[in-house]
Structure formats: structure tokens, C-alpha cells
């Protein structure tokens, strides 16, 4: 059996997404910047996709800009907010994705901003009182806090964060890459300055994402070139990728509650089975259903003897999973998230992440293999 439990890294393409993308590749190859018929057709397709995304988010199409993915979108929000909106102070958490952390740390190291880190507890929950204290000391601050952590799944109440930021006139950006397509984001009721997403996290194609920029914020492009994306992002649009993103997002919103209930059931089932079969197993992050991303389960296992070989052993057994964030899979430094939480460094941690294409039979297979490995190497 081959089991794919690494959906937080990337998801399989939905067949309906493949269908619409293939049609665009075959029939609508024009450059959207060209003024002839082929170009106008492509431009119309891009704008239709923009309206779809904006409609689902209850935003204006003029506030949606397509990018190469979540990393570019995060960089655009951070760099251009700080350089164009008169910001000299930023706040983030030590648990953010490196697309946020490394960008802010670079700006701080170069003296562009002062950077503070809001405190988090052992479950990865942001201390909102500390956030308020930091904001009260520094007017006109940039705040970047993700909606759900990509490694441990802990959710942050971005509505509460938004309220706090409004009180202190702070600019608020949230990386919603892991929750886009899995939770509704109603931007008519969420006062936020920047929000980012990536198609391949919700059964769309890799290499395409978007940034929402609240219309009140006037910033310059991150990438210069042509006048694409209404002069906000140079480079020929990835037309079939954009169409795939919009279609994938549309499908997610149509069946979101059904998929949430189903996938939450898989996560709960795996947690129960792991507890029954592997003594001393620990779960990382906030794992209560209402406060945790339902697609992610991060576990620390007692089989310390094979800590360095666990993921390899699972791979040999036909099981694909991650040891934290897949975006750092080439790193030898381990998970910065688990380190910040004070997790036991001797116990191997594995992130299992689920999608609508997984089932309980796969979970039974994985639990059986994990049990065998832990019993063999205790």
C-alpha cells in the first residue's frame, strides 16, 4: 500500500482542476497582455478567475493579485508594507513559516526595522496580552501572524488579532496558506490589510498563489517588469495556473463543511488509534478540534533509537509524511517550531496531514507500521 499523508506540503490535483487547466493549455494560449483576439481571450479568463476568488473571499476583484505562490505573496506583503507605509517596527511569532520569519529577520538585520517576537505557549498559542503590550510601546507597527501553523496545526484567532491591531493602528498580515480552501475567509467582516494563499495546498496547481491587499493600502510592486496585475506584479500571468487556482478554490467552498467533518474524523481516528497502540506517544500543538487545523496531526514518538531514520523507514514502508515543515526538508537544523515549543529533541516528530482523498484503512496501515517500528526500537 502507498499512503500519502503529507497534504500540508502539497495536495493532489482535483480531477476537475486538471480538466479546466488542460482546456486552457490547449485552446487559450494567448498572452493576456496582447491586444489581439488571442490575448483578449486570455485576459478575460484571468479576470474571470480573479472575480471568482474575490467573490469567495467577499472582497473586491481590485484587491486580488496573483503571484507565483505563498512565499512571493508573503514577501510582497512584508517588504512593501515596511518600505511604503512608513513602518519601522514589526511583530511576529517564532513559529511562522520561513517565508515570513526570514524576510523579517533580514530587514531587522539590515536595520530597516526593529523586530519583536510575541510570546507563545507550549501548544503554540499566541499570547494576545503580550501582543497588546508590544503594540502599546510602538505606534505604526507591522504584525504578521499566520492563521494556522503549518507544522503543528494550532489556530490563531485572526479576528481577535485584527481587533487588537485596529486599536493600535497596526498593519496586519496573515499567512493563510494552510487554511485557505479549508476555512471560509469573509473579508467583509475581517478587517485585515494583507492575506495570502497558495493553490497547491487546496488541490490546485503548484506555482500559483495570490495576495489580498486591502484597498486602503497603497504599495508598490515587489517584482518590476511589465504592467501585469494592474501594474502590481511584473511578469506574464500563469493563465492556466490561475484558472486552476480559482477552480480548486471554488470546489473547496462548495463542499467545505462535508470535507471538514470527514477529515476531522480521520484526524480524530488516527489520534485515538495511536494512543491505543503506542504508549508514551505525545501530540504537538493545540489539538482540540475548535483550536486546531483539522488537516494536521503532529506526533512525537518514543522510538528514540531511530529518530534519524524514522521518516526514511516510513518511506520504505510506502508512507509519505514529514518531519515538520516540508519546505525545510533539506535542512539539518530540525524544526524551529518544535524547538520554540520546547518539544523533546530526542523524540522523533512526524507531521501527518490529511485530505479528502484519504481513508481509515490508510490510517490503520500507518499505525500498524509505526507500532512495529516503535516496538522494534524501544
∠ CA(103), CA(295), CA(117), 5° rounding? 30
How many other C-beta atoms lie within 10 A of the C-beta of residue 119?
A: 15
Marked catalytic residue, from 165, 252, 303, 327: 327
Q: How far is CA 130 from CA 63, 135, 165, 215, in A?
A: 31, 9, 13, 29
> Is 327 designated active site?
yes
Measured CA to CA, the distance from residue 176 to residue 145 in angstroms comes to 9
- The angle at the Cα of 82, spanning 164 to 195, to the nearest 5 degrees, equals 55
Question: First and final CA of the chain: distance in angstroms?
Answer: 25
Beta bridge partners of 115: 90
Q: What is the DSSP string of 43-105?
A: HHHHHHHHHHHHHHHT--GGGEEEESSHHHHHHHHHHHHHHHTT--EEEE-TTS-HHHHHHHH
Helix pair 70-84, 98-109: axis angle to 10 deg: 30
> Which triple of cell numbers denotes residue 46?
484571468
Of 290, 38, 31, nearest in space to 155 by CA: 290
For 47-52, which contacts have Cβ atoms below 8 Å and span 24 or more sequence positions? Answer: 48/246, 49/242, 49/243, 49/245, 49/246, 50/242, 50/246, 52/246, 52/249, 52/250
Indicate which residues carry an active-site annotation: 327
Amino acid at each position: 500500500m502507498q499512503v500519502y499523508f503529507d497534504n500540508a506540503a502539497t495536495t493532489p490535483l482535483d480531477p476537475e482542476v486538471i480538466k479546466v487547466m488542460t482546456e486552457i493549455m490547449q485552446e487559450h494560449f494567448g498572452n493576456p497582455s496582447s491586444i489581439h483576439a488571442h490575448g483578449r481571450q486570455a485576459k478575460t479568463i484571468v479576470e474571470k478567475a480573479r472575480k471568482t476568488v474575490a467573490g469567495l473571499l467577499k472582497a473586491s476583484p481590485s484587491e486580488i493579485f496573483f503571484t507565483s505562490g505563498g512565499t512571493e505573496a508573503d514577501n510582497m506583503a512584508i517588504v512593501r508594507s515596511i518600505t511604503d507605509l512608513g513602518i519601522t517596527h514589526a511583530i511576529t511569532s517564532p513559529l511562522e513559516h520561513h517565508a515570513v520569519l526570514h524576510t523579517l529577520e533580514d530587514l531587522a538585520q539590515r536595520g530597516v526595522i526593529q523586530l519583536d517576537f510575541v510570546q507563545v505557549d507550549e501548544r503554540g498559542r499566541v499570547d494576545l496580552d503580550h501582543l497588546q503590550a508590544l503594540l502599546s510601546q510602538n505606534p505604526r507597527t507591522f504584525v504578521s501572524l499566520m492563521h494556522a501553523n503549518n507544522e503543528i496545526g494550532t489556530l490563531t484567532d485572526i479576528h481577535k488579532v485584527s481587533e487588537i491591531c485596529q486599536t493600535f493602528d497596526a498593519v496586519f498580515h496573515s499567512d493563510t496558506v494552510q487554511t485557505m480552501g479549508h476555512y471560509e475567509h469573509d473579508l467583509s467582516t475581517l478587517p485585515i490589510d494583507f492575506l495570502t494563499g497558495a493553490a497547491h495546498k487546496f488541490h490546485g496547481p503548484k506555482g500559483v498563489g495570490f495576495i489580498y491587499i486591502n484597498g486602503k493600502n497603497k504599495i508598490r510592486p515587489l517584482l518590476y517588469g511589465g504592467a501585469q496585475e494592474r501594474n502590481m506584479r511584473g511578469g506574464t500571468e500563469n493563465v492556466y495556473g490561475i484558472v486552476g487556482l480559482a477552480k480548486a478554490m471554488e470546489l473547496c467552498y462548495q463542499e467545505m463543511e462535508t470535507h471538514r467533518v470527514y477529515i476531522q474524523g480521520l484526524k480524530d481516528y488516527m489520534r485515538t488509534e495511536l494512543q491505543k497502540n503506542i504508549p508514551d506517544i505525545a501530540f504537538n500543538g493545540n489539538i482540540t478540534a475548535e483550536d486546531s487545523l483539522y488537516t494536521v496531526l503532529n506526533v512525537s514518538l518514543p522510538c528514540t533509537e531511530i529518530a534519524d531514520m524514522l521518516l526514511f523507514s516510513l518511506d520504505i514502508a510506502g508512507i509519505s509524511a514529514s518531519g515538520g515543515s516540508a519546505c525545510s526538508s533539506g535542512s539539518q537544523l530540525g524544526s524551529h517550531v518544535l524547538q520554540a515549543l520546547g518539544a523533546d529533541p530526542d523524540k522523533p516528530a512526524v507531521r501527518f496531514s490529511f485530505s479528502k482523498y484519504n481513508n481509515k484503512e490508510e490510517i490503520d496501515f500507518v499505525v500498524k507500521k509505526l507500532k512495529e517500528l516503535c516496538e522494534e526500537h524501544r
